[in-house]
């Protein structure tokens, strides 16, 4: 036995990703006395600027945006009661195909082994029992999410740790429901492009391929508030339009795929720490 607390480490690409994909588990496990460590890989400088100004438009200052998003990340951390926040602080690479993908110093241009070495040092320091990040496609293909996946898996190989490792995902049944809700709250939305509809249909996994379903309904209010803390990006955070009650109904379960395990715990499971306590 050891006095070291059970520890969850979530590796995310940008400020606000911690709330979207893992806000529920971060809040739940913090409330259960588990140490929660958030690693944010980029500065978020390719997000919206004040007044909604977009990257590449006149008046968009990535450095100023990064400062705003750092403050919002700290606010989200407070809401979710995250124990430790670590910033790798790479430059945000932007969406696929943006010129910022190729910018020197961007996360996408950083050698995987370099980023992995820095993350491995954090893993050795915190010794997480559970590590959460994205799948090999970054859940939806964002370059920085893909890079976060790559450095996380490489860092795990560099260390002698054997934590449980999970990738975030979404059940296809929920994705279909989200589509219905988006139409409900966006009556003036244009008719979706068939190619986009087909691409969305491939996001997430069939329900029977999801290994881990964690009930976070009691913490959905915190998750909503954590998302709301990222006010500068509110135009891009559709879920805030629902209001807290509806949000809780739809976002009260967080789902994962277990990809590494030393406990032998049977699947499916309903706790990232099953077999560890």
Q: How many structural domains does the chain have?
A: 1
Q: Specify if 266 maps to a domain.
A: no
202-244, pLDDT tens digit by residue?
677 888 999 999 999 999 999 999 999 999 988 777 778 888 8
> Domain limits at 87?
7-260
Q: How far is CA 91 from the centre of its chain?
A: 17
What is the strand order of the sheet 253-260 is part of? Answer: 84-90, 35-42, 7-12, 130-133, 164-169, 253-260, 212-215
**Percent of the chain scored above 70 by pLDDT?**
89
SS3 198: helix
Q: Specify if 41 maps to a domain.
A: yes
Which tokens is 48 given? Answer: 């919206």
pLDDT score recorded for residue 262? 93
Band of residue 187 on the pLDDT scale cut at 50, 70, 90: very low
Element (H, E) at 66: helix 62-80
Residue entry with tokens 């910018």? 103
Q: Specify if 202 maps to a domain.
A: yes
Do residues 18 and 40 lie in contact, with contact meaning Cβ atoms separated by under 8 Å? yes
Other CB atoms within 10 Å distance of the CB of residue 244: 14
Q: Specify if 276 maps to a domain.
A: no
Q: Specify if 275 maps to a domain.
A: no
- Would you say the pTM of this structure is higher than 0.85? yes
Is the model more confident about 265 or about 187?
A: 265
Is the model more confident about 183 or about 226?
A: 226
Which tokens is 62 given? Answer: 């990535």
CATH number at residue 121: 3.40.50.10320
Q: Specify if 42 maps to a domain.
A: yes
Q: Specify if 268 maps to a domain.
A: no
Q: Specify if 1 maps to a domain.
A: no
């Amino acid at each position: 036995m050891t006095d070291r607390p059970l520890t969850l480490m979530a590796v995310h690409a940008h400020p606000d990703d911690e709330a979207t994909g893992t806000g529920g588990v971060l809040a739940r496990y913090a409330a259960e006395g588990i140490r929660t460590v958030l690693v944010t890989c980029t500065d978020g400088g390719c997000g919206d600027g004040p007044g909604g100004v977009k990257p590449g438009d006149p008046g968009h200052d990535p450095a100023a945006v990064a400062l705003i998003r750092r403050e919002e990340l700290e606010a989200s951390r407070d809401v979710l009661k995250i124990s430790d926040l670590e910033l790798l602080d790479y430059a945000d690479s932007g969406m696929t195909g943006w010129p910022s993908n190729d910018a020197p110093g961007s996360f996408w241009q950083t050698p995987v082994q370099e980023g992995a070495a820095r993350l491995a040092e954090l893993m050795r320091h915190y010794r997480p029992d559970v590590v959460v990040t994205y799948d090999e496609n970054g859940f939806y293909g964002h370059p920085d999410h893909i890079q976060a996946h790559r450095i996380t898996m490489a860092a795990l190989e560099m260390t002698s740790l054997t934590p449980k490792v999970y990738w975030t995902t979404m059940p296809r049944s929920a994705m279909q429901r989200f589509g219905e809700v988006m139409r409900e709250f966006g009556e003036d939305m244009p008719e979706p492009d068939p190619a986009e509809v087909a691409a969305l249909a491939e996001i997430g996994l069939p329900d029977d391929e999801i290994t881990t379903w964690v009930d976070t309904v009691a913490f959905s209010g915190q998750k909503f508030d954590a998302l709301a803390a990222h006010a500068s990006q509110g135009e891009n955070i559709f879920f805030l339009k629902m209001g807290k009650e509806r949000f809780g109904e739809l976002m009260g379960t967080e789902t994962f795929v277990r990809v590494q395990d030393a406990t032998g715990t049977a699947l499916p499971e309903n706790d990232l720490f099953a077999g560890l306590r």
